[in-house]
Amino acid sequence: MTVQEIQSYAAGQWICVDSNAREIHSAITGELIARAGNDSLDVDSMLDYARTVGGANLRSMTFHQRARMIKALALYLGEHKQALYDISFATGATQKDHLIDIDGGIGTMLVFASKGRREMPDDNIYLDGELEQLSRNGTFAGQHICTSLQGVAVHINAFNFPVWGMLEKLAPTLLAGLPAIVKPATATCYVTEHCVRLLLDSGLLPKGALQLVSGGLGSMLNQLTSQDVVSFTGSADTALKLRATPVILKNSIRFIAEQDSLNASILGPDAAAGTSEFDLFVKEVTREMTAKAGQKCTAIRRIIAPQEQVEAVLDSLESSLSKITIGDPRRESTHMGALVSAGQKRDVLEKAAMIGQEAELVFGDPESFEVQTSETSNGISNGAFVSPMLFHCDSPDTSNNVHEVEAFGPVSTVMPYRDLEHAIQLVNRGQGSLVASVITHDAEVAREVALVAGAFHGRIYFNNRESMKEATGHGSPLPHMVHGGPGRAGGGEEMGGVRGVMHYMQRTAIQGSPNILSAIGRKWVPGSTELSHHDHPFKRTFHELEIGETFNTESREISIEDIEHFAEFTGDTFYAHMDAEAAKRNPFFPDRVAHGYLLLSFAAGLFVQPDEGPVLANTGLDNLRFMKPVTAGQSIKVRLTVKYKTPRNDEYGEVRWHVTVSNQDDEKVAEYELLTMNLYTRN
């Protein structure tokens, strides 16, 4: 078999391996399949290329442009994912495992692309939070903004997800406008290298946006500055060594760690054998023990069940695990493939033996189990296969290894709890995890776990008969939600939608006049200059409208007949609108008052331009507040201001209007934001 040489991509060039390259062996057969590593990489040139070329190119793009690029990259990978499937089998992964890694990574990119378009501006500056009024009259205010760091993100990834592990970091990094240098784990870097080649071959990435180190980083971490970010996934020991790099400490370099942890699953006290929750629990545990051969940072390592249910849990898990077919991952009938390497197999068996010092092995014999083969499975006896191993620890309070030692493979331990308080104590003994799950139909159980265990876990996954058909699973971190955890889990966060993008940006507090803040954020703020135009704003296209453009309406008097007609027409006969004496007993109302929605309806009638024009539709109303009641005989008028504009597709964009409804004394009675979709050009 030809031994593949896995190259690095540095400063715009592919770099061949050298004589010090490390050997990579097939997880299935143990044969040599690749070599990777180059000790002569010019890290200074790589960092300079990323900062000066990649960073400049990305920062010149808006969030929306970056989001469209990420979407296009994801779609391109989707068209070429079969090639990634084909080479990933050598990592020991099955076709179902590929769906987690490869399809999961592509899906993560698509989510970030969507969020970038929907939740971020078509600009280079992201406004974080609302305006803060810092003076009595509003002439001095504050706003938090986020801008791209002017360095590089160094991504150090684990072996278990060579595609998803890269893409789930790369998507928010690129969306933030920061270039990346990706360093995958050597054992599976051949898959990552192929994915990087696809990304580069697409022609969609600007120069300098992505580089690859196949092998060691050399002195790269010693050359980083405060504008750089290190994002790491892997073991706690490796994270500690990296985090302790003197330059990282000296320069206060952001270090994001997502570490392996002793994740746990609790069977709720209500979920007895025979319930749908009990069956769900067994299914979830079995899947999390065997998917990716247990090589998941989110896999269930501790199985916590009511004392009276432990025997049933053990019986059911043994039955379920006995149906798992171990073998060549290329076979369609294989449920569980191999560990990634012989070294990883040795480590798992050593850690399992440590757990066995405190717990009884009730299922799985590491010395005797069947490995399914096929006609193409030559040499499979040398593969890194192990059997699922289920332990039972009857005394979890006095045991330590079951709460401290992680066998990073298909190994898990069942332990009993006396009551819910005891279950929470046990789940927290892991001293910080990426995820804990609770299978229960009792909402109060869920609340108690969330309240007392939340501080120890980055994510708590609840599932039961109501959500089981659509739930994504204990071990599936989603790009919408944060992935990370405290303590042993690393103390960092990844993904989480726009939250994940912020890790690669700098938050800055800016202060100044309303006009200054409007100019910086390209968003009109109260107190800044209002622009006028002779045409009604609803006659002007998306591109013609200017931020701050304002339309002031005529007044309209509210009559008692208006109030009574609105009540009869809508059925809203609340006493404050219909009964003067009752209304006066209410401390908020001086007399019968107009309905709030009557005011909104009349406001629309005052500012709407009825003719066909660029405005396609009113699509929403946000942040509505009623400030002062309006009684019969009083009048209202409206100020309509273009607050913000967001392109949506090739034909139209969203206009956010700031709407103020005032009475005859210029006092605000209502305020809200109106959303309309406006054509870019006239029909």
- Which sequence positions are flagged as catalytic? 258, 297
Which residue, 410, 412, 416, is CA-closest to 398?
416
Burial class of 3 by CB neighbour count within 10 A (0 to 12, 13 to 18, 19+): exposed
In angstroms, rounded to a whole number, what is the distance separating the alpha carbons of residues 94 and 291?
Answer: 9
In angstroms, rounded to a whole number, what is the distance separating the alpha carbons of residues 304 and 255?
Answer: 33
Q: Widest CA span of the chain, in angstroms?
A: 94
Whether 615 contacts 675, CB under 8 Å: no
What are the distances in angstroms from CA 71 to CA 33, 50, 81, 480, 595?
Answer: 33, 22, 15, 16, 46
**In a 3-state reduction of DSSP, which class is residue 603?**
helix
In angstroms, rounded to a whole number, what is the distance separating the alpha carbons of residues 59 and 30?
Answer: 45
Helix ranges (DSSP H) in 202-290: 236-243, 246-250, 276-290
Residue 654 corresponds to which tokens in the numbers above? Answer: 């969203």
Whether 87 contacts 48, CB under 8 Å: no
Which residue, 299, 283, 329, 282, is CA-closest to 97?
329
In sequence order, the 6+-apart residues with CB closer than 8 A to the CB of 58 are: 66, 148, 174, 177, 178, 179, 206, 209
Whether 639 contacts 660, CB under 8 Å: yes
Whether 302 contacts 347, CB under 8 Å: no
Give the DSSP H or E segment for 361.
strand 360-363
In angstroms, rounded to a whole number, what is the distance separating the alpha carbons of residues 531 and 524?
Answer: 11
In angstroms, rounded to a whole number, what is the distance separating the alpha carbons of residues 436 and 444?
Answer: 17
**In a 3-state reduction of DSSP, which class is residue 46?**
helix
Residue with tokens 């969507």: 114
Give exposure, 288-300, as e/b (b: 16+ Cβ within 10 Å).
bbbbbbbbbbbbb
Residue 24 corresponds to which tokens in the numbers above? Answer: 């990579």
Helices and strands (H and E) in the chain: how many: 22, 28
In sequence order, the 6+-apart residues with CB closer than 8 A to the CB of 223 are: 43, 44, 47, 247
